[in-house]
A and B are shown apart, each in its own frame.
Chain A
Amino acid sequence: MSTEQEQRTIRCLVAKVGLDGHDRGAHVIARAFRDAGFEVIYSGLHKSPDDIVQAAVQEDVDVLGISILSGAHDTLVPKIMDGLREYDAFEDTLVLVGGIIPEDDREELYEAGVAEIFGPGASMAETIEFVRENAPER
């Protein structure tokens, strides 16, 4: 009863996956999410898809933001999706991809289950708004 006033906070995992050392974007988005009142877990650099899945499952994040600038999104993102499925975390995790994703590759990522792709020029406010509106109900 009484101590059950719900205090929900949106939790995000900002993930860098694969051989991609460009983390400025990930840092910027992590800070922006923090300032928006979210709890942000940052994966650190050079994580494998399995590491990302482990973190997303254990931390029970509402949002998984994958930052990829290496061009390997077409192999890495589906691996992460499969991992999320394996642990029953696919359904209620909002997956976003940020970085350089060619127009031609986008459809494939959406089909894999990515909710939205934010490329260069996407505004921070827009991204935060998208998260607020689409963070899964639990």
Chain B
Amino acid sequence: MSGDDTLVDELLNGKHRALARVITKIENRSPGYRELVSQLHDHTGNAEVIGITGSPGAGKSTLVDKMAATYRDRGETVGVIAIDPSSPFTGGAVLGDRIRMGSNVGDMDVFFRSMSARGSLGGLSTATTDAVKALDAFGKDKIIVETVGAGQNEIEIVKTADTVAVLVPPGSGDDVQMLKAGILEIADIFVVNKADMDGADRTVMELREMVQMRDESPMAGHHGMEDMAGDEVESDDADEDDGTGWEPRIVETVAKNGDGVEEFLSTITEHVSWLAESGELEAQTRKRYEAEIKTLLREDTAALLEEELAARGGVETYVDRVLERETDPYSVADELVAPIETCVRERRQD
């Protein structure tokens, strides 16, 4: 344990290698990583976390590079976590986002870390959350989480961010359609990147229409958090009449030469101050910790049950019996959960 204690101290003292190693332990779920993250928790809560997502080739990495460079010019330190998919067959991955970080190579105060999805569904969002904590505890001012926006998993990941930006390349008429399915709800800011390309105006227009439609829909909500409305302070923006208070902004950028990046960053700042003023920040943080606790509980109980299953001879024997019509899946689940149920209930009564 003492090795991990020094690791935490070294991380808090700003040693890059220690930070890198802590993230490795988080990713590998090495023995002792839970204690590590627990110890870090006390030192977190100071960084501003920005999530960037969008389809492959939208220019995410390039934009992140320019964002990091701009923050550095302002004297702020930056952490970046870039998540790439891994092969479901071999687990291998080529993590290529680093190549785009041309403006920040050699600058140690931009801590860039590539992570692969490692095929673990729930695990990735946990690992990301924990890695963000490590960067936060290390003292990074801004933390950017970058991921391909392909599905539910990615949505879970970007939810660790205070502000979520979705990149939409011009001319992606069909992509905009696709966005309706889920990514729309999570976007605080839409970035039409490659805005110098044909079709950019049209994409901006389509997005604008979509945002307006969203506002008219009673199902719409910011991060799906309207159920938290009890905690919400009335927004004082006179032009906001839907009660949610934040209408997703649309900004145009040309990431490769840095056009529009300043404007994008000030829109982020605007969103962050809105979060703070509206009380949404607190609500979001509460929601996030709640989700984190629930995820851990789910994973831990699942692991406990795996253990139990293995002790009883593995899932295969149960499958055999189900096939033979000796039992059925529900009964198997009941049988396995019963001892835990009894134990927990007895403890509670003590």
A-side interface residues toward B, CB under 8 Å?
Answer: 1-9, 11, 30-31, 33-44, 47-48, 50-51, 54-55, 57-60, 87-89, 138
In the complex, what distance in Å separates the CA atom of A39 from the CA atom of B105? 21
Given the interface pairs A43-B98, A44-B99, the reply to whether A4 lies near B34 with Cβ below 8 Å is: yes
| Minimum C-beta distance from B13 to chain A (A) | 13
Of the residues B16, B24, B111, B296, contact of A3 by C-beta under 8 Å? B296
Q: Judge if B91 is at the interface, Cβ distance under 8 Å.
A: yes
Within B112-132, the residues touching A (CB, 8 Å) are 112-114, 116, 118, 120, 123, 126
Q: Is the CB of A6 within 8 A of B29?
A: yes
Mask of B292-335 contacts with A, CB within 8 angstroms, 1/0:
00001001110110010000000000000000000000000000
Contacts A2-B301, A7-B28 aside, 13 further interface pairs with beta carbons under 8 A come to: A1-B303, A4-B29, A6-B28, A8-B28, A30-B94, A33-B92, A34-B90, A35-B87, A36-B90, A54-B106, A54-B108, A59-B20, A87-B17
Point out the residues of chain B lying under 8 angstroms from A44, CB to CB.
98-99, 102
Contacts of A11 in B (CB 8 A): 24
| A and B contact pairs by CB, cutoff 8 A, 26 listed | A2-B299, A3-B126, A3-B296, A4-B33, A9-B91, A30-B94, A34-B94, A35-B87, A36-B92, A39-B92, A39-B95, A39-B114, A40-B92, A41-B94, A41-B95, A41-B96, A42-B98, A43-B98, A50-B105, A51-B105, A55-B112, A59-B98, A59-B112, A59-B113, A59-B114, A89-B17
Are the C-beta atoms of B296 and A39 separated by less than 8 Å?
no
Residues of B within 8 A of A7 (CB): 27-29, 118, 120, 123
**Known contacts being A34-B87, A44-B98, A50-B106, is A2 close to B92, with CB within 8 Å?**
no
Task: Give the size category of B's interface with A.
Answer: 35 or more
Contacts of B301 in A (CB 8 A): 2
Residues in B neighbouring A33, C-beta threshold 8 A: 92
Complex: A30 Cα to B300 Cα, angstroms: 35
Q: Quick check: A42 and B94 within 8 Å, CB to CB? A: yes
How distant is the Cα of A89 from the Cα of B268 in the complex, in angstroms? 36
User: With the chains together, A37 CA to B123 CA distance in Å?
Assistant: 18
Distance A87 CA – B20 CA, assembled complex (angstroms): 11
